[in-house]
Every structure is written in structure tokens, then in C-alpha cells.
Structure 1
Amino acid sequence: MLFRCTTESDRDRVTAVTVDEPISWIPAERYLDELGQGMYRPEWTWIAEEGDRVIGRALWWGQPASDHPLALDCLHVDASAGDRTAVAAGLLTASLKAFAEMGARKLPLYNLTLPHGWREDPAVAAALAWRRDAALAAGLTDEVERLRLEWTPEIGIPAGSGSLVFAKASDEEFLQVFRQIAVGSLDCETRRNLASKGAEVTARQEMDFYLSCPGERGWWRLVRTPQGETVGLAIPSATPYNRNVGYLGVVPEFRGRGHVDDVLAEITRVHAEAGAELITATTDTGNAPMAAAFARAGYRTAQIRLIYSAPES
């Protein structure tokens, strides 16, 4: 069996692959559209070949300006392949090795979207099982489950209390608040990075990530009391597809006072007043306070995301 990245001549073979399992996948139309935008690329598209047959496909995605892919969007192995886990693990291992050899300092993650309540659906659980086993075998052993939430205009803009001030600030001021918020965070990735890298590196990486997103830096606001005390930060952001709740947080000394509702209301207001028809957000299933805040603001759970990533040294 041969595992390799594709060339332009493979395009029809790649787009001919269809997925008949109840799990997220990328259809031909979207692949071709985003291939034209540079979010999918032939060198990021990997296939498993047996003779002249394509029996497996891995579609890695990145931003148009990315040097390396950021995430695996779609993994499929034909049921006729026999051991689907082994084929998928081989495909992932080969592609991840190639990305590392091309200079990727952080390996892309596997972003798997499932319907809400997937544990009660045997077909979805079966489609997930061999993909999860393949991800773990390929070294993507850190697993996080997240809620994907949505706001639409008919929900209405949540009312803020009016007790906080939202103001522009310098990068250094934002970086300082990122450092403060990392302490005691319930976000799995933040906690993992804080333990392995410390607050300074964790804060810098989180800030750099949001600076790289399609949202505008001018949307960012520090959150303060009327007396000037720093409460947290609000980062309305965007993906290549829609506006989203990028990052919000409250510093430790102001937690537990309901300020998160005001911060989320402000981010929602910014997007809604700009005409957003859809605002998306994600939060870890284990971050109960944040999930509750989204529920109070009217955000609905649309999907579940399982994220598999390589442990960072």
C-alpha cells in the first residue's frame, strides 16, 4: 500500500471519494472551492493507494496564508480496505511525518465534528471508533471534547448590565491580561500549556493565534470597572466562514460575579450590530461555567467537536 500526497493530476480521484457514514466530511464542491482559495492544497491532500484504487483520503486544511496545514478536516477509508484503523493510521503517520520534515513546528490537529447526542447513536459511535483509534496510533493522543455553539438574530442580543467599560488597549496591555486569565482557566488547552510552558509562553501563543485570525484587531477590547480596575478581555473574531466569539475571559479576582455574561453580551452585540447572521463559538464540555454562560445568552449547541492533537514537549 502506498501513502502519498497528491498532485494536480489526482484531483478527479480525490473528489470522487464520498463518505456514507454519519460523520463530518468534505464534499467535492467545498473541496474544489477552498482548493482555489489555498485552504486545501495538493501537497496537503493525502491518499492511500492499493494498486490503482484510492482506498483512503485525508484532507488537511489551513489558512490561505499558512505555510503548513492547521487541521485535518476529513479522514476516510473505504470499508473494503479491511482494517480501516491500520490504513488510516498509516495515512496519518505518513502525512504528519511529511509536515514535520517540511518544517511545521506544531503538528496539525484532527478536528472531528459529530452531531449533538452522538453517544446515543450507534452508527455515529462506530464511525468515530476507527478514526479515534487511528488518530491515537498516529500520535494525536491529546483528546478534548468541545461544544460548537451558534447564535442567530432571532435569538436577540443578550442584555448587559452596563456596569463595565470596554476600551481599546495596546498589545502589551492585552498580553498582560492574557497572562492573568490563564491562571485557573478551565480550558483544557490553556491548562495543558500553562503546566508545560508557563504563563508567559501560553499568553503569547494565545494572543498570536487570535492576531492571525480573520477578525480585525480593532474589534478587541479590555474590560474594566468604572474605577479602572481590569476585569478581563473581549475578543470578537472571525473564521474564514463567519464571525465568532474568539476569546473572552475574566481575571481570577473578578470571577464568580457574573461578569462573563456582560463580556459575552458585548461580543455578541459587536457582531450583531455589524450585521452578522451567524455567530459561532466553542467551549470545552468540561468548562461548565462557560457553557452555562452561552446558554444564558441564548447560544444553541449545534454540534460536538472532538479534537485530537500531538502532545507538545
Structure 2
Amino acid sequence: MLFRATTGADLDRVTGFSIDDAVSAIDADRYLDELGQGMYRPEWTWIAEVDQRVVGRALWWGQASSAHPVALDCLHVEASVDDRAAVAADLLGAGLGAFAQQGAPKPPLYNLTLPNDWRADESVSAAVAWRRRAALAVGLTDEVERLRLEWTPEVGVPSASGRLVFSTGSDEEFLDVFRRIAVGSLDTETRRNLAVKGPELTAREEMDFYLDCPGERAWWRLAHTADGTLAGLAIPSATPYNRNVGYLGVVPELRGHRYIDDVLAEITRFHAEQGAELITATTDTTNVPMAAAFARAGYRTAQIRLLYSAPES
């Protein structure tokens, strides 16, 4: 079996590849559209071939400005293959090895998009199982399950409670708040990064990530109580597709007063006032307080995402 990156000559075979399950499927129209924008690329699209017939496909994605792929969006191996997990692992291993040789600082994560009730559907859970085995086999062993949430205008725009005052701030001020709100965080990735990298580097990397997102730095706000006490931060952001909640948090000493509701409402109002028809967000399924805050704000769970990534070292 041959595992290789595609070229322009493979385009029809890539877009014509048949997907026989609904796990993170990327259709031809989306692939072609984002190929034209530089978010999919031939060198990030890998195939498995037997006698010149494509039996597997892996689509890595990145932002148009990305030097290396950011995430694996779609992995599929035909049901006719005896051991789908083994072939998928070989396909992933070939792609990840090439990206490392090209200077990628770390392996792209694998993002599986699933329906809310995926565990109750035997066909979907079986489709997840062989993909999971493949991800683990190539070292993507950190697993996180997240809710993918959505707000739409019919929910209503939240009013300001008046409990917090929002203002702009310097990069140094925001970095300090990133550092402070990481302490005691229930976010799995933040907790892992704190354990390996410590609060300073964790805060810097979180901030750099949002500076690199399509949202604008001018949108960011610090939150203070009426007496001037720092409460947290609100970072409205964006993806290449729509407006996004981004990052929000409350400093440890003020948690437990539902200030997170005020911070989330500020982000929602900001996007809504600029005409957003859809605001997306994510939170870990284990972050029960944050999930409850989203529910109180009218965000509905649209999808479940399973993320597999390489452990930080």
C-alpha cells in the first residue's frame, strides 16, 4: 500500500472519494472552496492507494496564513479494507512524519465532529472506535471531549446587569489576567499546559493564540467590579467561518458569584451588536460550570467534538 501527499493531478480522485459514514465528513464543495482559500492544500491532503485505487484519505486543514497544518479535519478508510485502524494509522504516520520533516513544531491535532448522541448510535460509535485506535497509535494520546455551542438571534441579546464594567487594556494587563485565570481552570488543555509549562508560558501561548485568530485585538475587554477590582476578561473572537466567543474567565478570588454570566453576556452583546447571526463557542464536557453558563445564556449544543493531540513535553 502506498501512502503519499496529493498533487493537483489527484484532485478528481480526492473530491470523488466516497465516504460511507457521517463522522467528520468533508464534501467536495467545501473541500474545493477551502482549497481555493489555501485552508486545504494538496500537500496537506494524503491518500492511501492500492493498485492506484484510493482506499483512504486524510485532510489536514490550516488557516490561509498557516505555514503548517493546524488540524486533521477528515480521516476515512474504505470499509473494504480488512484493518481500517491499521491503514489509518499508517496514513496518519506518513503525513505527520512529512510535516515534522518540513518543520512543523508539533503534530496537528485530530478533530472529530460528532452528533450529540453519538454514543447511542452504534454505527457512529463504531466509526469513532477505529479512528481513535489510529490516533492513539501515532501518538495523539491526549483526548478531550468538547461541546460545540451556538447562539442565534432568536435567543435574544442579553442585557447588561451593571455588576461589571468593561474596558480596554494593554497587552501586559491582559497577559497578567491570562496568567491569573489559568489557576484552578477546569479546561483540560489549560490544566495540562500548566502542569508542563507553568503559568507564565501557558498564559503567553493562550494570548498568542487569540492574537493570531481572525478576531481583532481591539475587541478585547478587561472586566472590573464597580469598585475597580479586577474580575476577569472577555475576548470576543472569530474563526474563518463566523464570530466566536473566544476566551473568557474570572479570577479565582471572585469565582462563585456567577460573574462568568456577565462576561459571557458582554461577548454575546458585542457580536450581536455588530450584526452576528451566529456565535459559536466550545467548552470541555468536564467543565460543568462553564457549560451551565452557556446554557443559561441560551447557547445550544450543536455538536460534540473529540480532540486527539500529542502530549506536551
Partner of 1:69: 69
Deviations 1:43-74 (A, max 9, x none): 10000111110000000000000000000000
Q: CA deviation at 1:167?
A: 0.4
Partner of 1:37: 37
Partner of 1:221: 221
- Quote the Cα distance in structure 2 between the aligned partners of 1:19 and 1:240: 25
Deviations 1:169-213 (A, max 9, x none): 011100000000110000000000000000000000000000000
Counterpart amino acid of residue 312 in structure 1: E
Counterpart amino acid of residue 297 in structure 1: A
Q: CA deviation at 1:22?
A: 2.6
Residue 22 of structure 1 contacts residue 123 of structure 1 at CA under 8 Å; is this kept in 2? Answer: no
Q: Structure 1: any 5+ residue segments left out of the alignment?
A: none
Give the SS at the match of 2:87: helix
Q: CA deviation at 1:228?
A: 1.7
Flag as ranges the 4+ runs of structure 1 deviating above 2 A: none
Counterpart amino acid of residue 184 in structure 1: G
Matches of residues 20-169 of structure 1 in structure 2 within 5 Å? 20-169=20-169
Deviations 1:8-29 (A, max 9, x none): 1111110111212132211011
Partner of 1:239: 239
More displaced 10-residue stretch of structure 1: 172-181 or 11-20: 11-20
Q: CA deviation at 1:214?
A: 0.4
- Quote the Cα distance in structure 2 between the aligned partners of 1:308 and 1:151: 26
Counterpart amino acid of residue 179 in structure 1: R
Residue 18 of structure 1 contacts residue 27 of structure 1 at CA under 8 Å; is this kept in 2? Answer: no
Residue 160 of structure 1 contacts residue 261 of structure 1 at CA under 8 Å; is this kept in 2? Answer: no
> Does 1:195 find its partner at 2:198?
no
- Quote the Cα distance in structure 1 between the aligned partners of 2:5 and 2:117: 35
More displaced 10-residue stretch of structure 1: 58-67 or 218-227: 218-227
Q: Structure 2: any 5+ residue segments left out of the alignment?
A: none
Partner of 2:13: 13
More displaced 10-residue stretch of structure 1: 283-292 or 75-84: 75-84
Partner of 1:303: 303
Task: Tell me the TM-score normalized by structure 1.
Answer: 0.99
- Quote the Cα distance in structure 2 between the aligned partners of 1:304 and 1:169: 34
Partner of 2:255: 255
Counterpart amino acid of residue 176 in structure 1: D
- Quote the Cα distance in structure 2 between the aligned partners of 1:247 and 1:157: 19
- Quote the Cα distance in structure 2 between the aligned partners of 1:262 and 1:57: 44
- Quote the Cα distance in structure 1 between the aligned partners of 2:107 and 2:172: 28
Partner of 2:312: 312
Partner of 1:185: 185
Identical positions, percent = 75
- Quote the Cα distance in structure 1 between the aligned partners of 2:307 and 2:41: 22
Between the two proteins, the alignment pairs up a number of residues equal to 313
Partner of 2:210: 210
